[in-house]
Amino acid sequence: MSVMANQYQAINLSQGFPEFEPPAFLKDKINQAISEGKNQYSPSNGLPELLTEIANMVHRQYQVHLADEQKIDGLNNVTITSGATEALWVAIQTLVSPGDEVIIFDPAYDSYEPAVELAGGICRHITLDAPSYAINWAVVEKTINAKTRAIIINSPHNPTGSILSQADLSALQGLVEQYNLYVISDEVYEHMTFDGLRHESVLRYPELFKRAFVVSSFGKTFHCTGWKMGYCIAPDELTAEFRKIHQFVTFCSFTPAQIAIAQMLKAQPVHITELANFYQQKRDVLINALQDSRFTLLPSKGTYFLLLDYSAISPLNDREFCQWLTKEIGVAAIPLSPFYPAEQRPAYQQNNKVIRLCFAKNDDTLLKAAEILCQL
Ligand SMILES: Cc1ncc(COP(=O)(O)O)c(C=O)c1O
């Protein structure tokens, strides 16, 4: 959709990337690292100072209530990866053997299924329904069988903006313990939850964490998606296995960015604690500007995405609608059907007319797009 948006000079609210620059401090520090000659390989697991700063952040954000021995340890539990995409891929290769089943929830981020299939595994799909896109844990339990190896969760959730609650995490923990499963928890939007709602990280729950890989990305947090800087947090033994694969995928990630991010986490922790407010304001600018439109707005509790139902506006399916919107109307959005398995798409498209907008944009951009959308 971004290619089409550029071709037709449409306002691009499709692909999920911020329109703003990374913090000035972070840019200064990466420039400094490069000009000071810190341009060679870093240790495969990540620079120790960055591993330690990530652990400090996790302790502050999620583990204040835990005893010291339950808290994660940077050097043994954190691995730096080239984006969350690498972390997800490596976690899946670590866990999944041919014939294993992995439960994923649709709509799902697109990298999970190919990674499971490359490992020889099979995805078992469970559909989440609009408008809440909540997980029905009774259905999950019915889907579990002797071949089930792992469950992939994603909260805050791309593309729907839904989030998991404490009750969800405790239902998950019950199933994981009862059936000896593992969890891959994609938390790349961890610092973006709204209206006072708390992000229920797996890192808050020591028992669940014993069987989990928690994946995150600095691209979302520091407005630098192009740097492809991510990480995976897992218990000692799982981390040891994860690192054996990571070593031969990328070996290590971009050294200057690791130096700069470690300094940023230490010097300006407030960037992270203010991120939820920052994005909540963006969400509200867009929601308010769309109040008089004929779209139905779905709740966005986290991420930088808002779903719109366009049933009152057009009979086109979601792909056709997004193409029309980009080419003829001048606003690019993402259809939701590609987030469902190919064989389910035709049936999905018959019953659902939902598109995703990204509000990680300057207010001017959001207001201009909303003004156009209100005319439909
Ligand atoms: C849910 C989800 N997981 C993972 C990723 C990948 O993150 P990265 O760009 O750090 O590889 C994204 C990026 O959009 C995402 O939305």
Q: For ligand 1, say whether the CB of 121 is within 6 Å of any of its atoms.
A: no
pLDDT at 74 over 90: yes
**Cα dist. 118→86, 189, 212 in Å?**
14, 26, 21
DSSP notation for 253-292: --HHHHHHHHHHHHH-THHHHTHHHHHHHHHHHHHHHTTT
Flag whether pLDDT at 130 surpasses 90: no
pLDDT tens for residues 263-307?
999 999 999 999 999 999 999 999 999 999 999 999 999 999 999
Residues linked to residue 230 through DSSP beta bridges, in sequence order: 81, 217
Best mutation site among 17, 85, 246 for ligand 1, i.e. most ligand atoms within 8 A of its Cβ?
A: 85
Section 12-34 average pLDDT? 96
* Residue 225 Cβ < 6 Å to ligand 1: yes
Residue 85 near ligand 1, beta carbon < 6 Å: yes
- Using H for helix, E for strand and C for coil, what is the string for 106-163? ECCCCCHHHHHHHCCCEEEEEECCCCCCCCCHHHHHHHCCCCEEEEEEECCCCCCCCC
pLDDT of residue 311: 97
What's the gap in Å between 349 CA and the centre of ligand 1?
A: 25
Atom of ligand 1 nearest to the CA of 220: 10
| Sign of the torsion formed by the C-alpha atoms of 316, 319, 322 and 327 | negative
> What is the C-alpha separation between 356 and 281, in angstroms, rounded?
18
| 187 close to ligand 1 (CB < 6 Angstrom) | no
Does the beta carbon of 81 sit less than 6 angstroms from any atom of ligand 1? Answer: no
Ligand 1 site, residue 188, Cβ cutoff 6 A: yes
Residue 58 vs residues 30, 50, 90: alpha-carbon distances, Å: 23, 12, 21
Q: What is the mean pLDDT of residues 330-356?
A: 95
Model pLDDT for residues 214-261, shown as the tens digit of each residue: 999 999 999 999 999 999 999 999 999 999 999 999 999 999 999 999
Closest by CA position to 363, among listed 289, 256, 308: 289
Interval 156-197: pLDDT, tens: 999 999 999 999 999 999 999 999 999 999 999 999 999 999
Angle at 170 between CA 169 and CA 171, to 5 degrees: 90
Query: Are 253 and 224 in contact, with CB atoms under 8 Å apart?
Result: no
Residue minimizing CA distance to atom 14 of ligand 1: 16
84 lines ligand 1 (CB under 6 A): yes
Give mean pLDDT, residues 42-70: 97
Is the CB–ligand 1 distance for residue 253 below 6 Å?
no
Three-class SS state of 338: helix
* Three-state SS at 366: helix
Distance from residue 86's CA to the centre of ligand 1 (Å): 10
Q: Determine the Cα–Cα distance for residues 205 and 70; give it in Å rounded to an integer.
A: 9
Query: Measured from the CB, is residue 217 less than 6 Å from ligand 1?
Result: yes
CB of 303 shorter than 6 A to ligand 1: no
How far is 128 from 17, CA to CA, in rounded Å? 24
Ligand 1 atom, smallest distance to 230 CA:
10
Whole-number pLDDT of residue 159: 97
| Dist CA 43 CA 59 (whole Å) | 23
Cα-to-centroid distance, 81 and ligand 1 (Å): 12
For residue 129, pLDDT beyond 90: no
Integer Cα distance of 109 and 15 in angstroms: 12
Residue 109 near ligand 1, beta carbon < 6 Å: yes
Percent of the residues in the chain that have a pLDDT greater than 70, as a whole number: 100
Taking residue 309's Cβ as centre, other Cβ atoms within 10 Å add up to 18
CB neighbours (10 Å) of residue 173? 19
What is the pLDDT of the chain when averaged over all its residues? 97
From the CB of 83, is ligand 1 less than 6 Å away?
yes
Q: Within 10 Å of residue 147's Cβ, how many Cβ atoms? A: 12
Closest CA to 357 of 349, 341, 342, 368: 368
